[in-house]
């Protein structure tokens, strides 16, 4: 069963899966993200709670034990620990304490503006994990495992916090799709995510004049839809990493209802920079003509993503179904076509 309209998971599968995962670290091999908490939340949110443990059993060989801590993070020393990956366990413990003592929305409101400038760390996965955790908390029942998941997401983000210099502004466009089309690819598309990110020095201006929170929310939705659509035509540039051009801003969009409205405009600006930067880092030489999804329902597309199993396919499909038009469904099907299935 899925999480129902009240936010309850009748099988308890999501909370059980999160408890399993909280014994594992946020990364493996020192640099690759543990995607399982995000994927199982997506499965539960789309009526596939019964499949959560089966999927997790398939993914389990990719998990590593929770790392050892070095020293406690406190209200007095947190700045020196920010952006230090070796302190992931310390940060997760810190947020666990904070969430035990204060309402989760208050903790989020305090830390969101501190963490937002560094959403590029961990290839944007930490903010995506936070977005999944917040969606579950907003859906209804606030359980211990779901609060702990927020602590893990925020702690991972703090440990991988990575700010970037403001790019030189280029002429942009009124619409998000046209602005993404105007993003110039980096000259050298070789190397890791951090290597490529360091080469992003110029980005088009988009939505810079937005000052109203409600307009910021609307433009953020426009950006997510445009980036999802773009995957259908450009995903072959890098089938895995280009997923984040859509899922990272969608994570921000999902968090907005839990934030003070004063934070919505800076959230839009950060989301645009992240989506545009990923676009620049992995843009293919030429787009392709998208295939029609045909007579397929959103539910059928998600079932195909689950059968395929790849975590990025599941997460892109989860985002695509927030805007389930033909081109979004085509993007999800394109991800299935391009990506290696989970074995």
* Residue at 223 is within a domain: yes
Q: State the Cα–Cα distance between residues 321 and 144, nearest whole angstrom.
A: 28
- Using 70 as the pLDDT threshold, list the residues of the chain that sit under it: 1-11
Q: How many domains does the chain have?
A: 2
The answer to whether residue 336 sits within a structural domain is yes
* Same-domain pairing of 172 and 132: no
Q: What pLDDT is recorded for position 160? A: 98
Q: What is the pLDDT of residue 6?
A: 46
Asked if the structure places residue 8 within a domain, the reply is no
Full domain range(s) for residue 63? 13-160
Of the three residues 143, 160, 177, the one that is the final residue of a domain is 160
Is 251 within 8 Å of 138 (Cβ atoms)? no
Q: CA-to-CA distance for 186 and 178, rounded, in angstroms?
A: 18
Question: Whole-angstrom Cα distance, residue 200 to residue 165?
Answer: 9
Structure pTM? 0.96
Distant-in-sequence, close-in-space partners of 23: CB < 8 Å, separation ≥ 6: 65, 66
Do 36 and 180 sit in the same domain of this protein? no
Residue 200: partners with Cβ closer than 8 Å, 6 or more residues away: 164, 167, 186, 277, 280, 281
| pLDDT score at 134 | 98
124 lies in a domain?
A: yes
Same domain membership, residue 307 and residue 214? yes
Q: Where on the phi/psi map is residue 5: left (φ > 0), alpha (ψ -120 to 50), or beta? A: alpha
Query: What does the pLDDT read at residue 1?
Result: 37
Among 144, 160, 176, the domain-final residue is: 160
pLDDT at residue 3, as a whole number: 58
Length of the chain: 343
Contacts of 335 (CB under 8 A, 6+ apart): 231, 235, 239, 243, 305, 310, 312, 313, 316, 317
Q: What is the pLDDT of residue 189?
A: 86
Tell me how far apart the alpha carbons of residues 327 and 228 are, in angstroms, rounded to a whole number: 8
């Amino acid at each position: 069963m899925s999480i129902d309209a009240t936010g309850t998971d009748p099988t308890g599968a999501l909370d059980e899966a999160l408890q399993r995962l909280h014994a594992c670290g946020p990364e493996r091999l020192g640099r690759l993200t543990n995607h399982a908490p995000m994927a199982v939340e997506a499965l539960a949110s789309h009526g596939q709670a019964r499949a959560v443990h089966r999927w997790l059993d398939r993914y389990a060989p990719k998990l590593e034990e929770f790392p050892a801590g070095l020293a406690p993070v406190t209200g007095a020393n947190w700045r020196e620990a920010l952006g230090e990956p070796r302190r992931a366990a310390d940060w997760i413990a810190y947020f666990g304490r904070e969430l035990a003592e204060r309402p989760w929305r208050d903790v989020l409101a305090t830390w969101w503006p501190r963490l937002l400038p560094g959403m590029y760390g961990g290839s944007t996965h930490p903010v995506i994990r936070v977005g999944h955790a917040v969606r579950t908390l907003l859906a209804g029942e606030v359980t211990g495992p779901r609060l702990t998941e927020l602590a893990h997401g925020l702690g991972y983000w703090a440990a991988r916090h990575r700010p970037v210099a403001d790019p030189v502004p280029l002429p942009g466009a009124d619409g998000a799709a046209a602005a993404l089309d105007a993003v110039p690819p980096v000259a050298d598309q070789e190397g890791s995510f951090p290597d490529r990110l360091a080469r992003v020095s110029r980005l088009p201006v988009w939505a810079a004049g937005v000052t109203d929170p409600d307009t910021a929310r609307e433009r953020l939705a426009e950006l997510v839809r445009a980036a999802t659509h773009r995957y259908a035509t450009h995903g072959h540039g890098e089938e895995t990493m280009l997923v984040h051009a859509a899922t990272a801003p969608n994570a921000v969009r999902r968090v907005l209802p839990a934030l003070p409205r004063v934070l919505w405009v800076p959230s839009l600006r950060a989301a645009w920079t992240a989506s545009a930067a990923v676009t620049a880092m992995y843009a293919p030489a030429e787009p392709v003509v998208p295939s029609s999804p045909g007579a397929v329902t959103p539910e059928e597309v998600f079932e195909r993503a689950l059968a395929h199993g790849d975590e990025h396919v599941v997460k892109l499909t989860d985002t695509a179904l927030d805007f389930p038009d033909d081109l979004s469904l085509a993007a999800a099907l394109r991800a299935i076509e391009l990506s290696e299935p989970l074995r």
